[in-house]
Amino acid sequence: MNVIDRFINYVKYDTQSDDESINIPSTEKQIIFAEKIVQELKKIGIKDAEADQYGYVMAEIPSNIEKKVPVVGFIAHLDTSPEMSGKDVKPQFVQNYDGKDIILNREKNIVLSSKESPELKKYTGNTLITTDGTTLLGADDKAGIAEIITAAEYLLNHPEISHGTIKIGFTPDEEIGHGADKFDVEKFGADIAYTIDGGSIGEIEYENFNAAAANIIVKGKNIHPGYAYNKMINSIYIANEFICMLPENETPEKTFGYEGFFHLISVVGGVEETKLKYIIRDFDLKKFNIRKEKMIEITEKLNKKYGEGTINIEIIDQYFNMKEKIEQVKYVVDIAIEAMQQCNITPIVTPIRGGTDGARLSFMGLPTPNIFTGGENFHGRYEYIPTFSLEKAVELIVKISQLYSNSIKEN
C-alpha cells in the first residue's frame, strides 16, 4: 500500500486523546487503532509486532548486515489533539493547487485562506490533502505512522538495501503530554531514535521548550447580590486580576523564535470558584524557572490581599529541552541532515515551539530528535498536507536507515 492510501485509511480512525482522563491511554479508541496497526505491521511481514495494555506499539525489522551498527528507532504517536474533533474525518484532495484560497466547506463557508496561511504559496502545483472544515485532519501524527510503516514495508520488500536493526514505536497520549509515561526504553532497545512528528518538509528539530502546566483554583464567596455589600467575594474578578498581573506581551500570539510565554488555555468558573489552566513554555531553563516563580509570586500577593487559601496553584513540569542530550550524540542530527541532502530535501534546522515524545525520551536515555511529517496547520480545521511531503518522508526514513549501515556502533 502506498503512503497516501495508508494515510487516508488511518485518519478515518478517531483517536482523539482526553486531557481530563486519568486512564492510560486516555481514550479506549487509541487501543483500537493500536491493534489495527499491529495487524498491519504483521501483514507487511513484521512478526513480533505487539501492542501492550497501555496502547504502546513496538516492532522490529532485523538487521540484514553482519557488522554492528547503532540500532535506530522511528517513533510516532497514535492520538490526535483534544483541541478539535478527529471523528468522521473527511479528507479532500486539491489537485494541482493554484495558490489561491481553498474552499473547504462551501455549505458552512469555511475557507483555507492563502493570506492567513502564506506558506500555501510554496505548494502551488502540488496535490494537497485537506479537511472538509469540520474536523482536524490528523496528519499530526497519522502522517508519521503512515510514513514509518510504508518505509518499513519498502525495506522489507527491498533486501538489497542494507540496514541495521530498526525499531518501530507508536505511543498514545502524546498530545496531552503523556506519550512517554509508560514507554519502556529498555524493551524498545534502540540506541537512538527519531520522532516523525514535525511540520513542513525539511524540518529537523533537536531543541524544544521546557514545559509546565499550571492549574489554579480561585475561591470566592457567593452571597445574594442584594445583600452582598462587604460580604461577597467574586472569584471571577480575582482570577481576572491574576491574569492581568502576568506580562501581556508574553503570550503565544505575541512571541516567536526562542521567546517563551504564558498561555491561558481554559477559564471555567462562577462567583464561588474559578479555575484557570495555563501552560508555561521557555527554551531557556533559567527563564523557565523564573516564569514558574512569577506565577507563585502572584499567588502569594493575591492571597495576602484577599486571605490565605483564596488561590491555590499547582505547577507540574511536563518536559525539558532535549538540546543538552542531543548535543552529546550530535551525529544523530548530522546523519538526518545528510540523508535529507541525498534525498534532495533542503534541511531546515529549527527549534520546536512545542514538544514531542522525543523530548522526554531523550531524558530517559534515548536521544530522539524530531523530523518532519510534511503537515501544516496542525490541531485545527485548516490542517493540510501535500502528498509529495508524505512520499518524501518515506524516502527519508529509508535513507536514514541505510546511512546507519555505514556507521560503526560505539561500545
Question: Is 107 one of the annotated active-site residues of the chain?
Answer: no
Rounded distance, CA 206 to CA 210, Å? 12
Q: Nearest Cα to 349, choosing from 214, 248, 239, 203?
A: 203
Count other C-beta atoms under 10 Å from residue 162's C-beta: 17
**Measured between alpha carbons, how far is residue 258 from residues 208, 250, 284, 350, 352 in Å?**
9, 12, 8, 10, 9
- List 14, 132, 173, 174, catalytic entry: 174
Q: How many residues does the chain have?
A: 411
Q: Please give the Cα distance from 242 to 270 (Å, whole number).
A: 15
Amino acid at 130: T
Taking residue 327's Cβ as centre, other Cβ atoms within 10 Å add up to 12
Please give the grid coordinates belonging to residue 390. 508524505
Instruction: Tell me if residue 79 is catalytic.
Output: yes
What is the C-alpha end-to-end distance of the chain, expressed in Å? 38
Distances (CA, A) of 55 to 32, 58, 94, 252, 359: 8, 10, 34, 32, 20
Non-local CB neighbours of 317 within 8 Å, separated by 6+ positions: 211, 212
10, 138 Cβ separation under 8 angstroms: yes
Q: What gap in Å lies between CA 302 and CA 247, rounded to an integer?
A: 16
Which own/partner pairs from 245-250 qualify as long-range (CB within 8 Å, at least 24 positions apart)?
245/298, 245/301, 245/302, 246/294, 246/295, 246/298
Q: Which residues contact 180 (CB under 8 A, 6 or more apart)?
A: 171, 357, 360, 361, 364
Q: At what angle do helices 139-157 and 28-43 cross, to 10 degrees?
A: 20
Q: Which of 131, 99, 100, 95 is nearest to 388 (CA)?
A: 95
Q: Which of 14, 79, 175, 383 is the catalytic position?
A: 79
Active site residues: 79, 174
